[in-house]
Structure formats: C-alpha cells, structure tokens
Amino acid sequence: MTAAIDLPDALAAAPRLSVDAEDVVAGRLPIVQAEAAVRLGPVMRIDIPFGPDAGPCIHLVAPELAEDALLTRRESFSSEGGWAPLLGSGFGYAVLNVDEPLHAEHRRMIVPAFAGPALQRCLPGVLAVVDAELDRWADAGTLDLFPAMRRLTFRAVACGAGGMSADEADRAFAAVSVVLDGYDFMREGREAFLARANVARSAFLDVLADIVARRRAGEGRGDGTMADLVVAALPPDGGPRDPAVPFLAILLIAGHDTGMVMYSRALHHLGTHSALGVRLLRELADAGATADRPLSPEALDRLPFLDRYMLEIGRVFPPIVNIPRTAGDDVDIGGFRVGRGTRIAVAVGGVHRRADLHRDPHRFDPDRYADPAGARLARPFRNLTFSGGARHCLGARLAQIEFKSIVSRALLRFRIEPIDAVPVAHGGFWVGRPSRPMVVSLRTR
Ligand code: HEM
C-alpha cells in the first residue's frame, strides 16, 4: 500500500467545487456532490460556506469510503473532532461525540436501553406521546410541522424512552429548543446567538442534573429506561457535574433532532403528493387499521409500501446530510492524503443521489426498492440514513417505529394539505433543515 505521506494532499489536489450559503439552504449540496463523484471521483473538496467551522472540507461520496471512515478505519476519523463545532463542548461527551476506545465502552453501556425488552417497555409511553400530540394538532387545525414535530419527538424520547415525567420533559424542552433551533445565520449575529444559547444550555443541563439527582435518590420509574441505565452505569465522581448529565443530554439531542426532520418531511410530502397518501391509506385499510384502531408496531412492520416510503424519505431527505468527522491522523483515502485535523464530510445525501447507484436519483420513488435489485439500495453504506458499521444509529429501531406510527396515525386521522404550493427544500450542510416553514392544514377525516 502507498504510504499516506506519498500521496497528493487532498486539500490541494482533489477536485474542488464550490457551494454558497444559498445552495446549502436550497438543498443543492448533495446533488453537487453526487454529480462530481460520478464525473471526477468520490473524493472532493467543497468548503463549508458558513457557520462555526466555515472553511476547507474533504467530502467522501461513495459507499466504500463511508465504510472505511465509519467502520474499517474508524480510529483514523474522529467523531469528537467532527461534532465539536456543531455541539460545542457545553453539552459534554457521550457515545456520539467520543472516539475509540471510549466510544465502544459507552455503546456497551447504553445498548440495552435500545434493544429487546427495554425497547418493548418504552413503546407504550412513546405511542401515548404520539397520540397526545396528534390530539393537540387536531385542536390547532393549522400548524408548522417542523416545530410541532420537535416537541413530539423530544417528548417521545424524554418520556417514552427516557422515563421522564411530562413536567421534567417540558422544562428540558423549553431550554434545549433555544440552543438547537435558535440560530438563523441569515438574520442573527453569531455572538448574540451564542450568548443566548449559553444561558439556555445551562438551564437544560440544570434540569437534567435535577432529574439525575432524583433518580439517584430513588425517585423515577426504575425499569431500565435510558435514564436509569445511564445513572446506574455512571456513579457520581465528585466533579461539579454528575457524569450522567452529559450522557443524557447527548442522548436526548441525538434522539429527537434527527427524527423531527424525517417525520415532519414525511407528513409534508404526503400533503404535496396525495397519490402516495392514497396508497398508504389503502395499505393501512387492507390491514384493518382505522383512526380509532391504529396498528401495532409489529403490524406496521408487515406493510411493504410504508416501509419503502420510509426508506425513500430517508434517502431523499436524510436528517444528517453529511456525517461530520476530522482526520485523526494523516490518512490515505481514495488516492489522496488527508492531513490530521482536516474536516471531513461523509456524504450521506451525496451517496443517496449518485446516478450510478440509484436509477433516476432525484425522483422520489418508493417503488425503487420493490424488486430484488432495488432492495440492494437499502443495504448498509449505500443507504446511510442511519449511518453504518460501529457507528450505526443506536436508536434506529425506535426511530423506525416512531416513523411508521406517526405517519400511519396522522394519515388515518387527518387530511393534510400545505397552505401554499411553494416547495420546501431540504437544506443544511451537516444537519438537514427545511428551507422554509412547513405549514399545513389538518382536517379531521
Ligand atoms: C430518524 C431518526 C434518526 C436518524 C435519521 C438518525 C441518524 C443517525 C446517524 C446518521 C448517526 C451517526 C452519527 C455519527 O456517526 O456521527 C446516529 C447516531 C446515533 N443515534 Fe441516531 N438517528 C435517529 C434517531 C435516533 C434516536 C431516536 C435515538 C435514540 C435516543 C438515536 C440515538 C443515536 C445515538 C446514541 C447515536 C450515536 C451512535 C454511536 O456513535 O455509536 N438516534 N444517528
């Protein structure tokens, strides 16, 4: 093998393309990545046009390169470095934003909360949140799906999976919303936002510290929820913050800020493409579902079109558009050397739009997964919606249950119609965001 040192430096020698802030907001980045990958090769330089990490970035736009970065040679690609500009250090470090060997340790600790009996135990709580939030939507009549879905997904993970009370979840939610959705780089100075965000972040961590203290004092459900596992596995260490607090913070963020993007888009897309809704409703009706008698997660898993709809929403509108990394060492990849510390984007959206991997890639077509050749498209590293390998999303199964339950329950209850015909792009450099409000009217069927 050629030593990394002998290869051309990717920042200087890889094909260079440019996107500006408006391209990113309008969702053009994955298309630029995909077309360049097919034409020029899968390693390219596209600089980040705005934000705390504005500047040079190397993009990896191929399933094999994603596998390399996320699995085979993951020690050389730092998640801590990748997430640092996006999450800051204020929330602390847990699973998502730590490197090996700590990452493997954290994963082992928390994985029981997302599997088998613990997952089953949390589902009634998650579904109760979904139904309660849909009741609120029915009363509202018209709403912006994106913030409404943030509230739903936060409550689902906090109360359902995390075992928090509604009051605890509300206090945490009020604080975290400011940090996660408060920065509009087009309208607000970064300094002004940071000052506001710092206050809100501290408030969020204080709420979590209070919850952890109560669990340690024996208050709470104590039935193997995320909060219970974290608190049991991380005894107090005498430091100023209980070590369970950052862990809960990261899990709550990872567990709702992604799902809200995908589920709100799924409902909005049904509003603008009513034929898809008709097919889904027919499939649900054939399986015996009604608004009063929605299907269980197991029954929803037996509906092929709903499954393909979910795959296609994830392909075209991935909540994590690029998985953030930095080069942990000088690393050779795709015939280039990427110098230690260089920013790296594992291009989820770009891989999903490559014309040599996906027929007619910019067309929304759930039926592409119907034949055996199409089923290959959903394989790990070709489909990167939930990442892959050692970093595969821990909450993927919970997220799939949420997706199917929210889409089916909302569709059975409401006629969903956007209030205007202006398209809403799927923008964002790292994390997907709608380019404008997704306001819909909901009329009870
Ligand atoms: C539609 C919903 C979701 C999507 C699209 C999604 C996507 C992803 C992606 C792409 C990653 C990899 C990030 C990286 O390697 O840097 C990830 C990691 C992770 N996700 Fe999710 N996620 C979703 C929902 C959830 C939920 C509901 C939870 C649970 C509370 C969750 C917990 C996590 C955790 C803990 C990690 C870190 C795993 C690790 O590094 O080992 N996610 N997710």
Three-class SS of residue 92? coil
- Is 309 near ligand 1, meaning CB less than 6 Å away? no
Rounded mean pLDDT, 223-245:
83
Amino acid at 409: R
Q: Are 382 and 98 in contact (CB under 8 A)?
A: no
Q: Whose CA is nearest to atom 15 of ligand 1?
A: 391
Q: Whose CA is nearest to atom 21 of ligand 1?
A: 393
User: What pLDDT digit, counting tens, does each position of 177-186 carry?
Assistant: 877 765 665 6
If one residue of 248, 393, 394 were mutated to test the ligand 1 pocket, choosing by the most ligand atoms within 8 A of its CB, it would be 393
**C-alpha distances out from residue 167 to 6, 17, 80, 159, 383, Å:** 58, 48, 32, 10, 37
- Is 323 near ligand 1, meaning CB less than 6 Å away? yes
User: What pLDDT digit, counting tens, does each position of 143-189 carry?
Assistant: 999 999 999 999 999 988 787 888 889 988 988 887 776 566 566 66
Distance 96 CA to ligand 1 centre (A): 8
Q: Whose CA is nearest to atom 7 of ligand 1?
A: 386
| Separation CA 267–CA 270 (nearest Å) | 5
Three-class SS of residue 292? coil
Q: Are 330 and 77 in contact (CB under 8 A)?
A: no
User: Given pLDDT bands bounded at 50, 70 and 90, which one contains residue 197?
Assistant: confident
Residue of 318, 311, 407 lying closest to 366 (CA atoms)? 311
**C-alpha distances out from residue 197 to 46, 185, 193, 433, Å:** 29, 14, 6, 19
- Is 399 near ligand 1, meaning CB less than 6 Å away? yes
- Is 319 near ligand 1, meaning CB less than 6 Å away? yes
- Is 254 near ligand 1, meaning CB less than 6 Å away? yes
Burial class (CB in 10 A: 0-12, 13-18, 19+), 170: middle
Among the atoms of ligand 1, which is closest to the Cα of residue 323?
A: 16
pLDDT recorded at residue 237:
86
Three-class SS of residue 277? helix
Which of 87-91, 350-354, 357-361 is the most confident on average?
A: 350-354
Rounded mean pLDDT, 211-237:
80
Q: How many CB atoms lie within 10 A of CB 72?
A: 12
Among the atoms of ligand 1, which is closest to the Cα of residue 252?
A: 30
Q: Whose CA is nearest to atom 43 of ligand 1?
A: 393
Dihedral, 413, 125, 438, 185 alpha carbons, nearest 10: 180
Amino acid at 34: A
Burial class (CB in 10 A: 0-12, 13-18, 19+), 415: middle
**C-alpha distances out from residue 212 to 239, 243, 272, 306, Å:** 14, 10, 43, 38
User: What pLDDT digit, counting tens, does each position of 89-108 carry?
Assistant: 788 899 999 999 999 999 99
Distance 346 CA to ligand 1 centre (A): 15
Domains of the chain (ranges; CATH) run: 4-444 (1.10.630.10)
Distance 394 CA to ligand 1 centre (A): 6
Q: Are 326 and 342 in contact (CB under 8 A)?
A: yes
pLDDT recorded at residue 1:
46
Q: Whose CA is nearest to atom 19 of ligand 1?
A: 393
Q: Are 135 and 127 in contact (CB under 8 A)?
A: no
- Is 397 near ligand 1, meaning CB less than 6 Å away? no
Residue of 324, 323, 297, 316 lying closest to 386 (CA atoms)? 323
| Separation CA 412–CA 104 (nearest Å) | 41
Q: Are 332 and 326 in contact (CB under 8 A)?
A: no
| Separation CA 443–CA 337 (nearest Å) | 56
Largest alpha-carbon pair distance within the chain? Answer: 66
Distance 347 CA to ligand 1 centre (A): 16
- Is 387 near ligand 1, meaning CB less than 6 Å away? yes
User: What pLDDT digit, counting tens, does each position of 307-330 carry?
Assistant: 999 999 999 999 999 999 999 999
